Structure 1
Amino acid sequence: MLRDLKGISENFGKNWSDVMQDLLIEIHTAVQEAPESADSLSQIEIEEFQRRFDEIIETGIAENPLSTEPVPRKRGKKKNTRPQNLIERCQKYQTEILRFMADFRVPFTNNLAERDIRMVKVQQKISGSFRSVEGVANFCRVRGYISTVKKNEGSVLAAIKGAFRREPFMPTVAYRYS
């Protein structure tokens, strides 16, 4: 999300995207500074951040009105610009975008998920392709296991040894991402 907002700001010169970036970083800072015992921000903080998020969306819509008029002689509606598409996504997925402040188990970024997917693409690039769907499934299962161990700060080597001894690594509880 931050990458998309930065791109809109740099490529289209839209002020609302800078303000949205600042808000998301401010929320993330508030989450990091919350007491360890908390599992979410206070209801007052959540409502205030949501109000500000909505205001920024309204500003973005005012700067980039969403198109609803159909294109002559073509099906569907007129193609939106990248800033319009991002505003529409922010509106549609507001709950998901801001979930990290209401549930501290949800990470601020999806970098870990992107990193997990990247390994599949690297393997595919090196080998050219996977030979079967079963091969892809096995690769993903092993990479997922290793990723889970790393995310739970366990020893990868010990976890792999345990898997061969039929004593697989089992995460106990979710921990707070920072």
Structure 2
Amino acid sequence: QPGHPGHRRKKQEPTQPVILLPAPEKVLEESDFKKTGRTIIKQMMGIQVLLNVVEYHADIYYNTKTGERVHAAFPDGVVDEVNYDGSIRAFLFLLNNDCCVSIDKSRKFLSDLTGGKLNISKGMISKLSREFALKTVPERRATYADMLLSPVMHTDCTNAKENGKSCHVYVCAVPDGKVLYFAREKKGHEGIKGTVTEDYQGILVHDHDVTFYNYGADHQECLAHVLRYLKDSIENEPDRIWNKEMRSLLQEMIHFRNGIQLPHKPDPKTISGFEKRYQAVLETARREYGDIPANDYYRDGYNLFLRMEKYMRNHLLFLHDLRVPATNNEAERLLRNYKRKQAQAVTFRSFESIDYLCQCMSMLVLMRREEPANIFDRVSRIFG
């Protein structure tokens, strides 16, 4: 905009000698042109992939008396005749698991970049998730312990596919950025077993899955889901008043809560007023469903009314504790990472593949929060 400096592209240090463009012919022909002392500098950038090959030679020595043969020890990681260092492994790992590119396209892309010199096997690429997961076990254990100390934690679950069968992926996330994914063959208590949720003793933020109510010290239900359910009720039950009033009231509560910043505290009278209005809307719903009962075609609105009445405290906890968010959007966003991979893979051949993927996704999220500068270098060092 006029009067404001533009957000220009960042210039880089030249990697080749600076090219000085010759003066225009007009300047050479007319002596009236003089140098101003100013120079216009423009850069053209490109990238180049170089195949870096280090070859080791070790002479073999033979003992004429004992027949023993020895040679110098090769560096760590140099085991086979041809070995791939951490940079190649990290490139293929991130392309396949983080960018959701298929194994075939990943190996083809690397082959094209190196002029056909590198043709990595599909088996090696498919094993990278397992290798990365096993090498990062200590970091995930430490994260698990740290998450138990957080006063608030988000949790959610989504469906996964293994050879056409249904399984599940759980996510646990705390406000400071720590995240762990868990693959589970079953849902319910069997699915929660072994996750952070099983041992957690703080406030859980989740969707309306009654299984979660058996864990944690307190609960906040996601109001984003409730607002969607209320909108659905409005569309299917347009003659009822309670759904419109409740949706408007929840939006007002969330707006009020978002306007409060620590160390300020919400006004108790205002919160009490919200709670009374909440109960008044429930009474309106009771009268409406008493006069005109819910039909067999659509009972979701009536079920929502019963649920909001029973779990009123868990819908309004965010008004009393500023540490608690009104929605479970954090967990929802994190599960999209898995959904993108599931859409690319369609189905996984084994449950272990999903399990290793979840462990890798956990580490990638953690590394991005800790070292946003260059995740590629960190992954390369892990692969060694």
Q: TM-score range by the shorter chain?
A: 0.5 to 0.7
What does 1:99-178 align with in structure 2 at a 5 Å threshold?
Answer: 99-145=317-363, 156=372, 158=374
- 1:5 to 1:135, Cα distance in 2 relative to 1, 3 A: same
Q: Are 2:241 and 1:20 equivalent residues in the alignment?
A: no
The structure carrying a bigger strand percent of its residues is 2
1: CA distance, partners of 2:308 / 2:261: 28
Q: Relative to 1, partners in 2 of residues 1:160 and 1:32: Cα closer, same or farther, differing over 3 Å?
A: farther
Residues 11, 79 of structure 1: CA spacing in aligned structure 2 closer, same or farther, 3 A cutoff?
closer
Gaps of 5+ in 1: 66-77, 167-178
Between structure 1 and structure 2, the one with the greater Rg is: 2
Moved more, 51-60 or 133-142: 133-142
Deviation at 1:80, TM superposition (A): 7.3
Could you say what secondary structure the match of 1:4 adopts? helix
Question: Is the contact made by 1:146 and 1:156 (CA closer than 8 Å) also made in structure 2?
Answer: no
Alpha-carbon distance, 1:160 to partner: 7.4
TM-score when normalising by structure 2 = 0.34
Q: How much does 1:108 deviate? A: 1.9
Aligned partner letter, 1:23: L
* 1:34 paired residue number: 260
Q: Which residue matches 1:51?
A: 276
Residues 242 and 285, structure 2, Cα contact 8 Å, conserved in 1: yes
Q: Please give the per-residue CA displacement for 1:28-47, whole angstroms capped at 9, x wherever unaligned.
A: 12112224313x52332222
Separation (CA, whole Å) in 2 of partners of 1:43 and 1:115:
32
| Residues 9 and 18, structure 1, Cα contact 8 Å, conserved in 2 | yes
Q: How many residues align?
A: 152
Ranges in structure 2 where 5+ consecutive residues have no aligned partner: 1-225, 291-295
- Aligned partners of 2:243, 2:328: CA distance in 1, in Å? 19
Whether the 8 Å contact between 1:116 and 1:143 is mirrored in structure 2 is no
Higher relative CO (CA 8 A, sep ≥ 6), structure 1 or 2?
Answer: 2
User: Which residue in 2 is equivalent to 1:96?
Assistant: 314
Distance 2:320 2:376 in 1: 35
% identical aligned pairs: 28
When you count helix as a share of all residues, which structure comes out higher?
Answer: 1
Query: TM-score, structure 1 length as denominator?
Result: 0.68
RMSD of equivalent CA atoms: 3.1
